[in-house]
Amino acid sequence: MSDVRPSDKPVEIRRALEAAARELNEVVATAGAHAANHVTSGTDKIRDATNAQDGLMTAALVTDLEAVIAALVVDIQDLIDHEADTGNPHETDIANLGASTLLDLNTLLSTTIDESGDSRPPSTHNHTAAEVTSGELALAQGGMNADATSFTNSQLLQKNAGGTAMESSGKTIADFVEKSLFDADTILAADSDNTPAALTVPVQTLVGRITAGNIDALTAPEARTLLNVADGADVTPAAATQHFHSFHLVDPQIGDEYILFNAGNAQTITRVGHYRVAGTTCSFNLRVRAEGSAHTSTSETDVFASVKSAATTITAETSGWSDNTIDQYSWCVLEITNVVSTVTDLYITIMSEDT
């Protein structure tokens, strides 16, 4: 140990530092600039840095690093653009989510999502009229299945021929008569084309149209003038005079002919009653013979369309006529056409009335 006093210590330190500085300056002066000695072509090359050792960064490493930085810049910009995209940049749908993703989603949803790519129709629900702002609503849902803007105001609509959509009827409300026009005791009448109007019909009137007039409620005098009937006239026809002719024929035979009566007025036969006693058959025919005609069947007309057969019960003929009219002064003739077994009696009653 040197014998140094405490007061000499700083001086010694300063001297030591100065000596060290001189030595360092000498070393630097001797070495000079020598960076080239430590690079690839130098005599004292520093080893290249790798992921396993330290050293200097090579030019190739710098090139790779620059490429990585450039790619990273692009990726960062793509990420910025991706975050700003509000659409579906991944083009993801149910079909490409994958089973594990679907399983995760299904745990969060009340309805299971399957792996089908088909569209999902909405479940049945209601909309207010204000919520339906576009499209064509089907008839079954209360819509028209047509563009409502194509119809004009007051236009009346109808179903098309197929019943699938509404279409214009070609009519408006102006083409129809409103029921509010009709008060009590009114009818619809038109005095000119396409101008219907209400017509009131008072009591004791008839609807009609007199000469040069319009449809109107005609009074009693107007109606009588129209009908050409005088006030108080009685147009009830007199009752037609009826005639009854009754005959009793004994033991009639085939070919017998009986002239029954002569018509003083033109008449119409309305009823023929007949009845036989005994025998099996008694057929007869009625004929009309004109006044002054010969006594032959060719000059006579048949009253019935076919021969009648008298029964053992009273029978009346009211139809089946061939010609039941008898001209004035003509004769009514009865002819027996067939008799089977003995008929003891034949009763004939003819009813007629004047024409």
Residues 183-218 have pLDDT tens digits of 899 999 998 998 888 999 999 999 999 888 899 999
Banded model confidence at residue 1, pLDDT cuts 50, 70, 90: very low
E strands along the chain, which residues?
Answer: 155-159, 166-172, 186-190, 196-200, 206-208, 216-218, 242-250, 257-262, 267-277, 281-289, 300-302, 308-309, 315-317, 325-326, 331-340, 345-354
Distance CA 324, CA 305 (A): 10
Domain coordinates of the chain in residue numbers?
Answer: 39-85, 139-172, 179-227, 242-354
**Pick from 3-7, 52-56, 68-72, 146-150: least confident:** 3-7
Residue 351, pLDDT score:
94
In one letter, which amino acid is 314? I
Residue 204, pLDDT score:
92
pLDDT in tens, 105-159: 666 665 555 555 566 666 777 777 677 777 776 766 667 777 777 777 777 888 8
User: Could you give the percent of the chain with pLDDT greater than 70?
Assistant: 79
Residue 345, pLDDT score:
95
Q: What Rg value do the Cα atoms of the chain yield, rounded?
A: 67
Residue 39, pLDDT score:
73
Banded model confidence at residue 251, pLDDT cuts 50, 70, 90: very high
**Which class does domain 242-354 fall in?**
mainly beta
Output DSSP code: residue 306.
S
3-state SS of 50-87 is CCCCCCECCHHHHHHHHHHHHHHHHHHHHHHHHHHCCC
Banded model confidence at residue 166, pLDDT cuts 50, 70, 90: confident
Contact (CB, 8 A) for 308 and 263 = no
Residue 146, pLDDT score:
75
Residue 229, pLDDT score:
84
Q: Above 60 in pLDDT, residue 4?
A: no
Contact (CB, 8 A) for 207 and 201 = yes
Q: Which residue has the higher pLDDT, 246 or 78?
A: 246
Banded model confidence at residue 10, pLDDT cuts 50, 70, 90: low
Cβ neighbours of residue 214 closer than 8 Å, sequence gap 6 or more? 191
Q: Which residue has the higher pLDDT, 164 or 13?
A: 164
Distance CA 218, CA 281 (A): 65
Contact (CB, 8 A) for 202 and 182 = no
pLDDT in tens, 81-100: 877 777 777 777 766 666 66
Output DSSP code: residue 148.
G
Q: Which residue has the higher pLDDT, 284 or 149?
A: 284
Cβ neighbours of residue 308 closer than 8 Å, sequence gap 6 or more? 272, 274, 283, 284, 285, 317
